[in-house]
Structure 1
Amino acid sequence: MLTEGSWWSLLPSLLAIVFAILTRRVILALLGGVILANILYTAPDLLAAIVASITALGSALIDLGNIQIWAFTLIIGALFGVLEGGGTFQHFVRALEKRQLGDSPRKARLFTWLLGIAVFIESNVSIMTSGTTSRPLYDRLGESREKLAYIIDSTCAPICILIPLNAWGAFNLGLISAQDIANPLATFAQSLLFNFYAILAILLALFVAWTGWSIGPMRQADAAARQRVHNIRAQAAPLDAIQYDSLAAKGVLASLVSMVVMVPVMLTVTGGGNIVRGAGTTSVLVAVSVALVIALGFTRKTQALPWSEITKHALRGARAILPLAVILWLAMVLGDMTRALGTADFITGLIDDSFPLWLLLPIIFILSALTAFAIGSSWGTFAIMLPLAIPLALNLGLPPAPFIAAAISGGIFGDHASPISDTTILASLAAGTEHIDHVRTQLPYALLAAAGTVVLYTLWGLV
């Protein structure tokens, strides 16, 4: 492998990202990136590259942890298929409107934002809960699903890092504790105050939720959503003409609440009484499975549908999600390959203590963002950047908390901006929007928050 740790290692990710944005063929783009990564890894043996690509794809597909992720993804699709196709979501929307929680676009957006903030135990559950709960409201009110995807993506991961009573906190605290820091917990807590990107992303999402502000491609998405709901209303009976069933609405609520409640319960069980040591993927899988069972039961009881019809709705929902599951699979393989090629080592190798002190925090933020953008993983970026940023601060005699925050902030931003990020893919899945449409419409907001973050880190360095 001649490309290890060189700029050539960036090519697979860049190919996948650029091709996906230009052609909107995300699956082909990711598959091309995987093949190119293996060509670079095994060069000049092309036959070995083909075999390695097939092996990598097959290994990821049958990995036990990944199988749980595929199951979680398909069950979420089945859950939404049952709730939407079975008709119970209509009654849930009516219930929200009766309580004036979803009777205007602004209230619907604020409802989404609050849900994203409230469910901070696990980011995937937060994304899926906020997305699946809010989607019928947005469709009803003519709000774009792209805006829904942006709001859930910009609240769920940032709040998990700012309120780290979850696996995010345990993971980063473990990385920080491995460094030569006297009080890792206090230092980590102090770093939260400097996590400027997460703070700005949440505040910007709140501003968008309150005002409905749209920039760039989001304007076109909003216009298309308004036209779509106008056409639907012209052809369909109004929602208030449907006989309201409070038990059906309670069934949807029970299903969604169970998904939220079961995660910390299962984290505690799988962690032997310690929630931060629990098995996150297993916990999420059990939670969505319980939610699906509850949804099936309430749909059967309230909608008088035969089990065969309910099963069809579940299968249709899972099938609709399948393309995103494939995207997630390919993105994971590409992320593994970019790490094997030394992409992160090349990016992080660009920094040393020769930089002007006031530039160090912005540079760490940018390098961390580039790393996360290239490998599609915020957690992978934390594991790479924190062991670089903390010793750099200690060697220079500077407080490590801002350096920790800059590395984490960059990882969150890069993860938001990257089309191959699992969080971005799940936000598209939860909102029911095309993945590249979500990436394109979210990027201007993410860049705006990132620009503000760079300014704040620069000013802090100058002080």
Structure 2
Amino acid sequence: MDYGLWLSIVPSLIAIVLATWTKQVIPSLLIGLWAGSFILTGSFLGSISQTVDYIVEVLSDPGNLDVLLFLYVFSGLVALIQLSGGVQAFAKVMDNYINNSKKTLIASWLLLPITFIDCGFRVVATGSIMKPLADRFSVSRERLAYMLNNSASPVIVLIPVATTYIGYIIGVLNKGMGAAGIEGSAMQLFLSSLPFQFFSFTSITIALLSVIIGWNFGSMKKLIQSANHSNKETSFSRPAHAMEMSEEIGNTDKADTAKDQMGVTSKGKMEKMDMDMGIGKPALKPRLFNLLAPILVLIPLSFFLMWWDGRKEAKGESIVEVFSAADPSRSMFLALFITVMITAALYLFQGLKLKKMTDRFIKGGNKLMVTIVILAVAWPISDVSQDLGLTDLIRKTLGGTLTPIWVPVLIFVVTGAVTYFIGSSWGAWALMMPIAIPLAVTTGGSVPLAVAAVLSGGTFGDVTSPVSGMTAMSAGAAGADHMKYVKAMTPYNLLAAGLAAGLFLVVPLIF
């Protein structure tokens, strides 16, 4: 075997180690990319030029640009919805139907149909609606944070249309499929992985059981008892701001990444987060229509444009063949673009100034610039790794020694660990997918299972890591103490992860 092939793991290894150590994803990915370029060229100046070439090549790809533009425009649309007062209007409606703590927690899940489009939007919008009700009916803030967090990423990662996740996942899958040398539809591969995303199913089930039948344990049970029996003013005195964990571990300068699922901590008080996310005083009279209209346009339009695009390329007439032949990134971006124009027209008609909308749209889009930069640096790591012979290394070292039975659980554990330490599910997906898919192919394992294992591992880290943006954001949106929340929810997620790992080990024996 050519031992030089082992150099192909250096870019990803450096990126993972540095990200774990520094909790900074972007510089770590950039250094990993440069290291791979240096190994490839053997020249300092040449490696810098090669690094730039890799990034430019990624940004020159139309499919990649569709994904990046989708993320920016989608974040801008979310900002417009928040500016219009739609969230506040819905909060008033909910207030008429909730009269106890159990209904409060169940209602946080029932908000999914209008908040599923983005994790940050899901957590902050739902938190702003439910927090006053949770205080009124003595719901522990840590328990509310758990409901917010575990009804975000684990659910949204399962939705194949009209979310910020789907465009990113399709892009990552295309990279992984390219690394493995397999052809086909990334969307079809994603759809085939859905039944195997075990962590989402186990974590959602456990969270719902804790509400419906009151199955709670550990410090969460104590917090619930305290909330039920203590004086309300004492139990819900304003806690130290929810970002104290980031202060203790020295990550207060990394907060901006939390709002787009790509960072590791968030900082500041909940009021500042509200202003940053647009959940403040609306510019229009709050109307439920302003929240529902964009969603009711975007979702069916996305499906229609995917069908319209796929119909031109499909070899058969079945709906699966039609949607598999579509370009989901372009179709969803077109749907989003049209939705933004329609939404802007609706808000203009209500009196919202064009200048204010433009300013808020740009500010909203800029909130995902960290995500966009990470993609522009993470995607090329896959390219340089392949140029250094990663696929050959996997085939020669693991292809004949690692049985396909162990591949899914191994991928799940490794991806979960990487995400837990770097606090970024999207960063971990970008690092692991180009490794997981070739590993499944070379060992003769199931590619959909491997994909599901990567997505499940990233989701576990996203909702569990104390340095995850979503964990910090959920604590902040619920007004919970970060340390108490992490301690309370970790046993639930570890149990869900253990069950998922068992399923990843057993299912290959069955199928």
Class of the TM-score when normalised by the shorter of the 2 chains: 0.5 to 0.7
Tell me, in whole angstroms, the C-alpha distance in 2 between the residues paired with 1:294 and 1:212.
Answer: 45
Cα root mean square deviation, aligned: 5.1
**Following TM superposition, by how much is the alpha carbon of 1:323 offset from its aligned partner in structure 2, in angstroms?**
2.3
Tell me, in whole angstroms, the C-alpha distance in 2 between the residues paired with 1:276 and 1:101.
Answer: 46
Q: Look up the equivalent residue of 1:412 and give its one-letter code.
A: L
Contact kept? 1:3, 1:9, Cα under 8 Å: no
Corresponding position of 2:381: 334
Relative to 1, partners in 2 of residues 1:22 and 1:370: Cα closer, same or farther, differing over 3 Å? Answer: closer
Contact kept? 2:29, 2:377, Cα under 8 Å: yes
Tell me, in whole angstroms, the C-alpha distance in 2 between the residues paired with 1:310 and 1:345.
Answer: 51
Tell me which of 438, 452, 456 is aligned to 2:499.
Answer: 452
Corresponding position of 1:384: 438
Corresponding position of 1:200: 202
The higher relative CO (CA closer than 8 Å, separation ≥ 6) is in 2
Tell me, in whole angstroms, the C-alpha distance in 1 between the residues paired with 2:22 and 2:291.
Answer: 37
Relative to 1, partners in 2 of residues 1:386 and 1:92: Cα closer, same or farther, differing over 3 Å? Answer: same
Tell me which of 334, 339, 346 is aligned to 1:298.
Answer: 346
Tell me which of 409, 423, 431 is aligned to 2:452.
Answer: 409
Corresponding position of 1:400: none
**Following TM superposition, by how much is the alpha carbon of 1:212 offset from its aligned partner in structure 2, in angstroms?**
11
Relative to 1, partners in 2 of residues 1:276 and 1:101: Cα closer, same or farther, differing over 3 Å? Answer: farther
Corresponding position of 2:48: 50
Q: Look up the equivalent residue of 2:78 and give its one-letter code.
A: F
Tell me, in whole angstroms, the C-alpha distance in 2 between the residues paired with 1:48 and 1:197.
Answer: 43
- CA deviation digits over 1:208-249, x for unaligned, max 9? 787798999xx9xx97459988879xxxxxx9x999957x32
**Following TM superposition, by how much is the alpha carbon of 1:380 offset from its aligned partner in structure 2, in angstroms?**
4.3
Corresponding position of 2:80: 82
**Following TM superposition, by how much is the alpha carbon of 1:52 offset from its aligned partner in structure 2, in angstroms?**
0.3
How many pairs does the alignment contain? 397
3-state SS of paired residue (1:271):
helix
Tell me, in whole angstroms, the C-alpha distance in 1 between the residues paired with 2:475 and 2:59.
Answer: 24
Q: Look up the equivalent residue of 1:62 and give its one-letter code.
A: S
Corresponding position of 1:132: 121
Relative to 1, partners in 2 of residues 1:380 and 1:299: Cα closer, same or farther, differing over 3 Å? Answer: same
**Following TM superposition, by how much is the alpha carbon of 1:23 offset from its aligned partner in structure 2, in angstroms?**
3.0
- Give TM-score, length-normalised by structure 2: 0.61
- Report the identity percentage: 18
Corresponding position of 1:157: 157
Tell me, in whole angstroms, the C-alpha distance in 2 between the residues paired with 1:215 and 1:14.
Answer: 36
**Following TM superposition, by how much is the alpha carbon of 1:457 offset from its aligned partner in structure 2, in angstroms?**
4.9
- 1:350-361 pair list within 5 angstroms: 350-351=397-398, 361=405
Tell me, in whole angstroms, the C-alpha distance in 2 between the residues paired with 1:37 and 1:45.
Answer: 11
Q: Which runs of 5+ in 1 are unaligned?
A: 117-125, 180-184, 233-238, 393-402, 420-424
Tell me, in whole angstroms, the C-alpha distance in 2 between the residues paired with 1:229 and 1:432.
Answer: 11
Tell me which of 303, 306, 317 is aligned to 1:267.
Answer: 306
Corresponding position of 1:121: none
Contact kept? 2:199, 2:457, Cα under 8 Å: no
Relative to 1, partners in 2 of residues 1:131 and 1:16: Cα closer, same or farther, differing over 3 Å? Answer: same
Q: Which runs of 5+ in 2 are unaligned?
A: 132-140, 183-187, 224-238, 245-267, 273-278, 313-321, 419-427, 463-467
Relative to 1, partners in 2 of residues 1:289 and 1:297: Cα closer, same or farther, differing over 3 Å? Answer: same
**Following TM superposition, by how much is the alpha carbon of 1:270 offset from its aligned partner in structure 2, in angstroms?**
0.9
- 1:337-376 pair list within 5 angstroms: 337-343=384-390, 345-347=392-394, 349-351=396-398, 361-367=405-411, 370=414, 376=430
- CA deviation digits over 1:308-363, x for unaligned, max 9? 122111122122222222122222222333343344554565445666xxx75234
Relative to 1, partners in 2 of residues 1:354 and 1:55: Cα closer, same or farther, differing over 3 Å? Answer: closer
Q: Look up the equivalent residue of 1:81 and give its one-letter code.
A: A
**Following TM superposition, by how much is the alpha carbon of 1:288 offset from its aligned partner in structure 2, in angstroms?**
1.8
3-state SS of paired residue (1:361):
coil
Tell me, in whole angstroms, the C-alpha distance in 2 between the residues paired with 1:30 and 1:140.
Answer: 37
Tell me, in whole angstroms, the C-alpha distance in 2 between the residues paired with 1:41 and 1:215.
Answer: 51
Of residues 409-418 and 10-19 in structure 1, the stretch that sits farther from structure 2 once superposed is: 409-418
Contact kept? 2:154, 2:199, Cα under 8 Å: no
Q: Are residues 1:257 and 2:296 paired?
A: yes
Contact kept? 1:101, 1:111, Cα under 8 Å: no
- 1:173-188 pair list within 5 angstroms: none
Q: Are residues 1:15 and 2:17 paired?
A: no
Tell me which of 322, 326, 340 is aligned to 2:369.
Answer: 322
Contact kept? 2:26, 2:373, Cα under 8 Å: yes
Relative to 1, partners in 2 of residues 1:153 and 1:255: Cα closer, same or farther, differing over 3 Å? Answer: same
